Amino acid sequence: MGLLDLSRKLIMKASAIRAVQRIDELGAISETDDGLLRQFLSQANLRAAEKILEWMSLLGMHCEHQADGTIRGILSGSNPTAKPLLLGSHIDTVAHAGKYDGALGVIAALAALEDLLESGCTLPFPVHVLGFSDEEGVRFQATYLGSRAVVAGLDESLLSCRDAAGDALRDVLERDGWHDGAAHFRYAPGDVLGYVELHIEQGRVLEEAKLPIGVVSGIAGQSRISITLKGQADHAGTTPMPLRRDAMVGAAACVLAAESLAHAHSPLVATVGQISLSPNVSNSVPESVKFSLDFRHPDDEQRVELLDLLSHQFHQIAQQRDLEIHWQVVQESGAVACDDFLIEKISRAAKKVTGRCLTLASGAGHDGVMMQQIGPIGMIFVRCLKGLSHHPDEYCAPEDIAAGIDVLVEFLNSFHEA
Amino acid sequence: MGLLDLSRKLIMKASAIRAVQRIDELGAISETDDGLLRQFLSQANLRAAEKILEWMSLLGMHCEHQADGTIRGILSGSNPTAKPLLLGSHIDTVAHAGKYDGALGVIAALAALEDLLESGCTLPFPVHVLGFSDEEGVRFQATYLGSRAVVAGLDESLLSCRDAAGDALRDVLERDGWHDGAAHFRYAPGDVLGYVELHIEQGRVLEEAKLPIGVVSGIAGQSRISITLKGQADHAGTTPMPLRRDAMVGAAACVLAAESLAHAHSPLVATVGQISLSPNVSNSVPESVKFSLDFRHPDDEQRVELLDLLSHQFHQIAQQRDLEIHWQVVQESGAVACDDFLIEKISRAAKKVTGRCLTLASGAGHDGVMMQQIGPIGMIFVRCLKGLSHHPDEYCAPEDIAAGIDVLVEFLNSFHEA
A260, closest residue in chain B (CA to CA): B241
Residues of A in contact with B250 (CB under 8 A): none
| Mean per-residue pLDDT, B209-235 | 95
Note if the bond before A298 is cis, omega within 30 degrees.
Answer: no
pLDDT tens sequence across B283-309: 889 999 999 999 999 999 999 999 999
For residue B318, the one-letter residue type is A
B263 CB-side CA count, 13 A: 10
- 3-class SS of residue B122: coil
Residues of A in contact with B296 (CB under 8 A): 236-237
Facing B238 at nearest CB: one of A243, A251, A364: A364
Q: Are strands A377-382 and B284-285 parallel, antiparallel or unpaired?
A: unpaired
Answer for the pair A378, A339: CB distance below 8 angstroms, yes or no: yes
Supply the pLDDT for residue A185.
87
Residues of B in contact with A202 (CB under 8 A): 235, 238
Distance CA A359, CA A349 (A): 13
Supply the pLDDT for residue A175.
77
As to burial, measured by CB atoms within 10 angstroms (0-12 exposed, 13-18 middle, 19+ buried), residue A196 is: buried
Q: Are the Cβ atoms of A274 and B281 closer than 8 angstroms?
A: yes
B361, closest residue in chain A (CA to CA): A238
E strands, A17-143, in order: 62-65, 71-75, 85-90, 127-132
Q: Are the Cβ atoms of A273 and B269 closer than 8 angstroms?
A: no
Residues of B in contact with A205 (CB under 8 A): 238, 240, 243
- Quick one: which of B83, B102, B99 has its CA closest to B91? B102
Measured over the CA atoms of residue A390, residue A396, residue A402 and residue A403, the dihedral's sign is negative
pLDDT tens sequence across A320-355: 999 999 999 988 889 999 999 999 999 999 999 999
Note if the bond before B267 is cis, omega within 30 degrees.
Answer: yes
Note if the bond before B286 is cis, omega within 30 degrees.
Answer: no
Min Cα separation B71/chain A (Å): 28
| Mean per-residue pLDDT, B227-255 | 95
Supply the pLDDT for residue A67.
84
Supply the pLDDT for residue A9.
66
Distance CA B387, CA A245 (A): 13
Min Cα separation B91/chain A (Å): 20
Distance CA B60, CA A55 (A): 101
For residue A255, the one-letter residue type is V
Distance CA A306, CA B232 (A): 26
Average per-residue pLDDT for chain A:
93
Residue A21 CB: number of other CB atoms within 10 A? 12
- 3-class SS of residue A25: helix
| Mean per-residue pLDDT, B102-127 | 96
Answer for the pair A357, A367: CB distance below 8 angstroms, yes or no: no
Min Cα separation B369/chain A (Å): 15
- 3-class SS of residue B342: helix
Q: What is the percentage of chain A residues whose pLDDT exceeds 90?
A: 79
Q: Is the pLDDT of residue A4 over 70?
A: no
B363, closest residue in chain A (CA to CA): A237
Q: Are strands B85-90 and B194-200 parallel, antiparallel or unpaired?
A: parallel
Min Cα separation B77/chain A (Å): 36
Q: DSSP character for B353?
A: H
Supply the pLDDT for residue B416.
78
For chain A, domains (ranges, CATH) are 3-220+335-413 (3.40.630.10), 225-333 (3.30.70.360)
Q: Are the Cβ atoms of B296 and A237 closer than 8 angstroms?
A: yes
pLDDT tens sequence across A144-190: 999 999 998 888 888 899 998 999 998 888 876 555 556 688 999 99
Facing B266 at nearest CB: one of A224, A241, A365: A241
Answer for the pair B161, B169: CB distance below 8 angstroms, yes or no: yes
pLDDT tens sequence across A180-220: 556 688 999 999 999 999 999 999 999 999 999 999 999 99
Supply the pLDDT for residue B182.
66
Q: Are the Cβ atoms of B271 and A284 closer than 8 angstroms?
A: yes
Distance CA A267, CA A269 (A): 6
A330, closest residue in chain B (CA to CA): B282
- Quick one: which of A125, A105, A34, A82 has its CA closest to A366? A105
For residue A12, the one-letter residue type is M
A240, closest residue in chain B (CA to CA): B269
Q: Are the Cβ atoms of B235 and A282 closer than 8 angstroms?
A: no
ipTM, interface predicted TM-score of the complex: 0.85
Give the H or E element holding residue B360. strand B359-362
Answer for the pair B16, B398: CB distance below 8 angstroms, yes or no: yes
B261, closest residue in chain A (CA to CA): A241
B272, closest residue in chain A (CA to CA): A282
| Mean per-residue pLDDT, A68-92 | 95
Q: What is the percentage of chain A residues whose pLDDT exceeds 70?
A: 95
Q: Are the Cβ atoms of A234 and B387 closer than 8 angstroms?
A: yes
Facing A202 at nearest CB: one of B220, B238, B272: B238
| Mean per-residue pLDDT, B172-193 | 80
Q: How confident is the model at residue B9 (pLDDT cuts 50, 70, 90)?
A: low
Answer for the pair B50, B21: CB distance below 8 angstroms, yes or no: no
Residues of B in contact with A210 (CB under 8 A): none
pLDDT tens sequence across A222-276: 999 999 999 998 889 999 999 999 999 999 999 999 999 999 999 999 999 999 9
Q: Are the Cβ atoms of A271 and B253 closer than 8 angstroms?
A: no
B291, closest residue in chain A (CA to CA): A282
Q: Are the Cβ atoms of A364 and B389 closer than 8 angstroms?
A: no
Min Cα separation B191/chain A (Å): 31
Q: Are strands A194-200 and A377-382 parallel, antiparallel or unpaired?
A: parallel
Residues of A in contact with B273 (CB under 8 A): 236, 248, 277, 279-286
Min Cα separation B382/chain A (Å): 13
- 3-class SS of residue B242: helix
Least confident of A3-7, A212-216, A303-307, B96-100: A3-7
Answer for the pair B105, B47: CB distance below 8 angstroms, yes or no: no
Residues of B in contact with A390 (CB under 8 A): 235
Facing B236 at nearest CB: one of A240, A285, A294: A294
Facing A243 at nearest CB: one of B208, B237, B272: B208
Q: Is the pLDDT of residue A405 over 80?
A: yes
> Dihedrals φ, ψ of B140, to 5°?
-110, 15
For residue A64, the one-letter residue type is E
Query: Which residues have CB under 8 Å from B319's CB, separation 6+?
Result: none
Supply the pLDDT for residue A1.
57
| Mean per-residue pLDDT, B386-391 | 90
For residue A19, the one-letter residue type is A
B48 CB-side CA count, 13 A: 36
Answer for the pair B194, B376: CB distance below 8 angstroms, yes or no: yes
Distance CA B172, CA B46 (A): 13
Q: Are the Cβ atoms of B255 and A248 closer than 8 angstroms?
A: yes
Q: Are the Cβ atoms of B273 and A251 closer than 8 angstroms?
A: no
Give the H or E element holding residue A226. strand A221-230
**Inter-chain CB pairs, A–B, below 8 Å:** 198
Q: Are the Cβ atoms of B275 and A273 closer than 8 angstroms?
A: no
Most A CBs within 10 A among B136, B227, B271, B358, hence the mutation to make, goes to B271
Distance CA B177, CA B155 (A): 21
Answer for the pair A369, A260: CB distance below 8 angstroms, yes or no: no
Give the gyration radius of chain B's Cα atoms.
Answer: 24
Min Cα separation A248/chain B (Å): 7
Supply the pLDDT for residue B143.
87
Supply the pLDDT for residue A258.
98
